[in-house]
């Protein structure tokens, strides 16, 4: 049988609100700089949950293979691939910029106006094999366990945001939201030198993991005065940096940040609106950053993981074969999972 007709297992997106564990032809290298990988492990993201929501919260394209978080092993490389060899282990940035729009040409490829994202617009990695350009991959150590490398893609997105913040040793940071993204911020900001990390989170399940990832305290805004508690923790000044990892908490961020402090907006919720008083920002000299995914930070992520400088393995809550994707999806939907690892080759 020709290699072009070999079949593989995959999780696809046949229609709005639907997924299917099925077979698809193995992808083939088409471009001279393409790389084919064997997917060693993949993980479910909140974006996958949003694509499969009804109505959709992220506009995925029906018919594609889902998934964008993975670790792979190179099994074939195009003739112009330079940095990677068969057998290398790699992490992947699933967002493919066009390279020629004004954003790309100005060094802001993460804001590309013609971005194609694997697992959203084109075939992704919830499969046994995937193909992507060499430019989207970075080699990692073969000795690095999957349990550590599997976090690369979401950490890359958070790394792009942390890169914008000028964290000073001893800073007090408040992270609004203790889901997976909030926990990545908690870990990285601590590693960047934050002296005190506070997390605002209502879920007791997530609160335990926040402490495990380096939070000094978790404040439950449903039962506690968030602003009052932050002021008490900072001698009345407010947090030096506030991160909104949810996507609709700017008013809380403004109330809790110190005069002259910084706010980082990361979480996305296009359906949410908030009312703020602009003068609260202006008169207090607050700096607000917005960030979308990572921008030239994947090598930083590889360095972080290769040196074991941060440990996210405690966030793994589920390990499932790809065929049981639905179980992991439901756990994510119920807020009972953080990191769900899928094995495409397990029975």
DSSP 16: T
> What's the CA gap between 103 and 27, in Å, rounded?
30
Q: What is the pLDDT of residues 166-216, one digit of tens each?
A: 899 999 999 999 999 999 999 999 999 999 999 999 999 999 999 999 999
Residue 5 has pLDDT above 80, yes or no: no
Residue 261 has pLDDT above 70, yes or no: yes
Mean pLDDT computed over 29-47: 97
> What's the CA gap between 166 and 192, in Å, rounded?
9
List, as own/partner pairs, every contact residues 241-244 make where C-beta atoms lie below 8 angstroms and the sequence separation is at least 24, other chains included: 241/165, 241/167, 241/171, 241/172, 241/173, 241/174, 241/189, 241/194, 242/173, 242/174, 242/175, 242/176, 243/161, 243/173, 243/174, 243/175, 243/176, 243/182, 243/185, 243/189, 244/176, 244/177
**In which band, very low, low, confident or very high, does the pLDDT at 132 lie, cut at 50, 70 and 90?**
very high
List of domains in the chain = 3-157+294-343 (3.90.180.10), 165-290 (3.40.50.720)
pLDDT of residue 4: 56
């Amino acid at each position: 049988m020709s290699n072009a007709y070999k079949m593989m297992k995959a999780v696809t997106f046949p229609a709005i609100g639907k997924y299917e564990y099925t077979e698809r032809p193995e992808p083939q290298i088409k471009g001279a700089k393409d790389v084919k990988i064997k997917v060693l492990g993949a993980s479910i993201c909140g974006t996958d949950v949003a694509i499969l929501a009804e109505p959709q919260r992220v506009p995925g394209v029906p018919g594609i293979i889902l998934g964008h978080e993975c670790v792979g092993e190179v099994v074939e490389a195009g003739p112009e691939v330079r940095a990677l060899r068969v057998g290398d282990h790699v992490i992947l940035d699933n967002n493919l910029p066009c390279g020629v729009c004004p954003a790309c040409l100005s060094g802001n490829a993460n804001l590309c106006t013609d971005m194609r994202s694997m697992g959203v617009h084109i075939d992704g990695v919830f499969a046994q094999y995937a193909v992507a350009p060499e430019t989207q991959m970075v080699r990692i150590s073969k000795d690095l366990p999957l349990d550590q490398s599997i976090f690369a893609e979401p950490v890359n997105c958070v790394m792009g945001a942390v890169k914008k913040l000028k964290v000073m040793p001893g800073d007090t940071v408040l992270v609004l939201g203790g889901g997976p993204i909030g926990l990545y911020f908690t870990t990285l900001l601590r590693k960047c030198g934050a002296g005190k990390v506070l997390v605002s989170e209502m879920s007791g399940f997530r609160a335990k993991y926040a402490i495990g990832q380096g939070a000094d305290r978790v404040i439950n805004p449903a039962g506690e005065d968030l602003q009052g508690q932050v002021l008490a923790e900072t001698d009345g000044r407010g947090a030096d940096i506030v991160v909104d990892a949810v996507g609709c908490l700017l008013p809380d961020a403004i109330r809790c940040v110190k005069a002259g402090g910084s706010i980082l907006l990361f979480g996305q919720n296009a359906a949410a609106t908030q009312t703020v008083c602009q003068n609260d920002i202006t008169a207090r000299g607050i700096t607000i950053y917005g960030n979308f995914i990572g921008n030239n930070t994947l090598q930083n992520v590889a360095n972080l993981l290769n040196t074991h400088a941060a440990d996210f393995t405690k966030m793994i809550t589920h390990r499932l074969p790809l065929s049981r994707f639905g179980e992991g999806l439901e756990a994510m939907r119920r807020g009972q999972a953080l990191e769900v690892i899928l094995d495409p080759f397990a029975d």
